């Protein structure tokens, strides 16, 4: 999970102006917007630890400090870097376990470079680094409990699977391979070396089931959003449409090596924003 960073005013630190996150969250009312930027900043900080070049024991220690700080926040004695989070936690009922789940997900990348996890481990990873973020977010958006949890489950997995499919080559350069072991075996790929797998001509056969899984989650998320008031789901709608469009570009490009990078153009982003930003 790699988050874009840039230097912005305090309210927007860590959020790239051109990012899909910034565009989707900027349309929210101020209290929700500030809470979402806090969640994003937290994710950015722990993600930076997981992706740093420091020795693994130092990265684990850094993540443990964040665990300790989250625990202190929920005891009512937050450290300075989380002092502003108290209001959001109270106002939106943000859950301690979701913050901790995100840290646990980042630690999965620290304990050892993930290489061809089994399906269950991949789903756990997606739940921790994406759907847990969604569970925090839907509380801020104000969705009903049951539908909020369901939306976080499906949209989080849809976005993370799209990230994995988009970033195969980038992840391979970092020594990571998130494609599931069962898919590799079914495609006749015996190696779990990220660079070898990325260059394997059978790779499209591994990606096809993941594409289908991501599409299934996108459609399930749409069902949940369609039965909720537009004002509550406009931000996740924008995020979902951005990533769904990226997935469509990936499908059109294909997954056979060599692969050209895929990026959603500015005009497409603006069109999506205009479609869903106005209540």
pTM of the model: 0.91
Domain contains 70: yes
Domain range for 213: 10-277
Judge contact between 94 and 84, C-beta under 8 A.
no
Taking only Cα atoms into account, the Rg of the chain, rounded to an integer number of angstroms, comes to 18
pLDDT of residue 258: 95
Domain contains 2: no
197-251, pLDDT tens digit by residue? 999 999 999 999 999 999 999 999 999 999 999 999 999 999 999 999 999 999 9
How many domains is the chain partitioned into structurally? 1
Domain contains 89: yes
Give the whole-angstrom CA distance, residue 98 versus residue 118. 23
Domain contains 4: no
pLDDT of residue 4: 37
Give the whole-angstrom CA distance, residue 266 versus residue 4. 16
The torsion angle over the Cα atoms of residues 18, 20, 23 and 24, rounded to 10 degrees, is: -170
Domain contains 204: yes
CATH of the domain at 201: 1.10.600.10
7-59, pLDDT tens digit by residue? 333 333 333 334 566 667 778 899 999 999 999 999 999 999 999 999 999 99
């Amino acid at each position: 999970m790699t988050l874009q960073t840039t230097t912005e005013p305090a309210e927007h630190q860590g959020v790239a102006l051109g990012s899909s996150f910034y565009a989707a969250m900027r349309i929210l009312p101020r209290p929700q917007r500030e809470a979402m930027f806090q969640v994003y900043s937290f994710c950015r900080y722990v993600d930076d630890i997981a992706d740093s070049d420091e020795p693994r024991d130092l990265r684990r220690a850094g993540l443990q400090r964040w665990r300790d700080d989250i625990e202190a926040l929920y005891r009512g004695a937050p450290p300075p870097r989380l002092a502003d989070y108290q209001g959001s936690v109270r106002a939106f009922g943000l859950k301690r376990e979701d913050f901790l789940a995100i840290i646990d997900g980042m630690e999965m990348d620290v304990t050892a470079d993930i290489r061809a996890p089994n399906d269950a481990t991949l789903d756990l990873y997606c739940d921790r680094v994406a759907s847990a973020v969604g569970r925090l977010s839907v509380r801020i958006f104000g969705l009903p409990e049951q539908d909020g949890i369901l939306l976080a489950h499906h949209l989080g997995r849809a976005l993370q699977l799209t990230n994995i499919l988009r970033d195969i080559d980038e992840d391979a350069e970092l020594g990571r391979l998130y494609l599931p072991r069962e898919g590799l075996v079914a495609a006749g790929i015996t190696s779990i070396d990220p660079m070898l797998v990325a260059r394997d001509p059978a790779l499209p056969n591994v990606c096809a089931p993941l594409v289908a899984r991501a599409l299934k989650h996108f459609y399930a998320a749409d069902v949940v959003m369609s039965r909720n008031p537009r004002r509550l789901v406009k931000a996740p709608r924008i995020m979902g449409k951005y990533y769904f469009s990226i997935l469509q570009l990936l499908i059109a490009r294909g997954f056979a090596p060599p692969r050209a990078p895929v990026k959603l153009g500015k005009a497409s982003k603006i069109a999506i924003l205009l479609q869903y930003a106005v209540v």
